[in-house]
Amino acid sequence: MPGERDRIQGPAVPGSAGLCRRTGAAGRLVGMTIALVTGANKGIGYEIARQLATGGATVLLGARDPGRGRTAVAALGDLDVHPVALDVTDPDSIAAAATWIEAHHGRLDVLVNNAGIAIDGTHRPSALPLDLLRATYETNVFGVVAVTNALLPLVRRSDAGRIVNVSSALGSLTLTSQPDPPWGRELNLLAYQSSKTALNAVTVQYAAELRDTPILVNAADPGYCATDLNGHRGYLTAAQGAAVAVRLATLPPGGPTGTVQGEGGPLPW
């Protein structure tokens, strides 16, 4: 019979604001933090979940495939991590996850929108099938908006909510429009690249709406990490890339909002 950590349902935790953790001056987690990371059964999402849990958070590991979510949780040993079935392209799945989180935790302190896909292949922009473009936006943009909207009422219950959207330097129009961009001129990623530009705009919009609240909303560029997304061709580890999102997820009160940041700080739009 599976243990509590292997179930989609986790233990009930009171949602009183008095139990909310928040970050200290150095961004260290203090007290009880409830964090959800989407697309977290592998790669950067898995590392974000691991690092947040290592820092003291109760982490809800979102995974489209419940079995893979349970496997990922088992690999994390004794860390306070629990699987949550969540397909960011499925409204029913999103609603069910939001209902479960409210019932068992009462609030959400950290939301990391990590789930994303890159399926352009080698298509030049003029030859990219529209179904690939639509599918990319469905996960990388519409999925982020859908999950954020469903969970924002719970984030508002936190005394210092954090929303982090995992983006990419490829979404920077300033960098991509350079005559000689850092990644070269022959990169054919119309769908992925433009979806991250759109995600950056989404980040700014939510930050503007929430500017008079304690909630900070930022986008994270993890860098070129070796993950399934790029066939493990990256020169950074998933753990290195995850650190950027974790830093933004644990910003102290009064930290930046409405930015996209990489390892070295803010990136140009």
Active site residues: 192, 196
Bridge partner list, 63 = 85
* Element of type H or E holding 165: strand 162-166
Structure token digits, residue 226: 């070796």
Do residues 46 and 68 touch, judged by C-beta distance below 8 A?
A: no
**Helix boundaries (H) for 111-261:** 130-137, 143-155, 173-176, 190-209, 238-249
CA dist., res. 85 & res. 99, Å (int): 12
Classify each residue of 149-177 as buried b or exposed e, where b means 16 or more C-beta atoms within 10 Å of its C-beta: ebbbebbebbebbbbbbbbbbbbbeeebe
Do residues 198 and 234 touch, judged by C-beta distance below 8 A?
A: no
CA dist., res. 171 & res. 65, Å (int): 28
DSSP letter assigned to residue 267: -
Do residues 156 and 213 touch, judged by C-beta distance below 8 A?
A: yes
